[in-house]
């Protein structure tokens, strides 16, 4: 189990390092494109499906690691919450704090999940 966590963490960190632009501000357009696709909206011509897939992969990884995170990073997602719900929550919470958009998307998403889904 620890090996799996280490491997997933290494993959996530590798993706973040490979793409020098891992700020919330850089990731938001792809997340918005993902939400638009899921909502059935027509994408604009400058939509980036690669960035949408990166957003999806990042959030999915966080949700997979959820149970393995320890305080202060732990959050407890309620049953029935989907990946789509998590992406929409992360986008909504990050957009509500424009002064923080230069921070890491992963950290901002975890903070949003902790605020909305605290462990009790």
Total of domains in the chain: 1
- Answer whether residue 14 is part of any domain: no
**What's the predicted TM-score (pTM) here?**
0.77
Tell me the percentage of the chain whose pLDDT exceeds 90: 48
Would you say 63 and 12 are in contact if contact means Cβ atoms under 8 Å apart? no
Structure tokens at 21: 């632009």
- Answer whether residue 20 is part of any domain: no
Tell me the percentage of the chain whose pLDDT exceeds 70: 77
3-state secondary structure of 17: helix
Residue ranges with strand state E in 1-120:
none
What are 90-98's contacts with CB under 8 Å, separation 24+?
Answer: 90/31, 90/59, 91/28, 91/31, 91/32, 91/35, 94/24, 94/28, 95/28
The predicted pLDDT at position 51 comes to: 87
- Answer whether residue 63 is part of any domain: yes
* DSSP H/E element including 22: none
Decide if pLDDT at 58 tops 80. yes
Decide if pLDDT at 77 tops 90. yes
- Answer whether residue 3 is part of any domain: no
104 contact partners, CB below 8 Å, separation of at least 6: 16, 22, 23, 24
- Answer whether residue 59 is part of any domain: yes
Q: pLDDT for 106-115, tens place per residue?
A: 999 999 999 9
- Answer whether residue 2 is part of any domain: no
- Answer whether residue 88 is part of any domain: yes
**d(C-alpha 44, C-alpha 95), whole Å:** 20
The predicted pLDDT at position 16 comes to: 46
The predicted pLDDT at position 49 comes to: 80
- Answer whether residue 108 is part of any domain: yes
The predicted pLDDT at position 71 comes to: 85
Using pLDDT thresholds of 50, 70 and 90, give the confidence band for residue 1.
low
- 62: domain range? 25-116
Q: pLDDT for 12-40, tens place per residue?
A: 555 545 444 689 989 999 999 899 887 76
Report, as an integer, the average pLDDT of 89-104. 92
């Amino acid at each position: 189990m620890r090996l799996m966590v280490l491997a997933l963490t290494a993959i996530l960190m590798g993706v973040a390092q490979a793409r020098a632009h891992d700020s919330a501000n850089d990731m938001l357009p792809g997340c918005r494109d993902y939400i638009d696709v899921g909502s059935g909206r027509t994408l604009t011509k400058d939509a980036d499906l690669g960035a949408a897939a990166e957003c999806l992969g990042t959030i999915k990884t966080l949700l997979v690691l959820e149970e393995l995170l320890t305080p202060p990073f732990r959050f407890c997602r309620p049953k029935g919450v989907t990946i789509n719900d998590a992406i929409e929550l992360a986008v909504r919470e990050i957009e509500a704090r424009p002064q923080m958009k230069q921070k890491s998307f992963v950290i901002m998403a975890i903070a949003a999940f902790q605020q909305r889904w605290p462990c009790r």
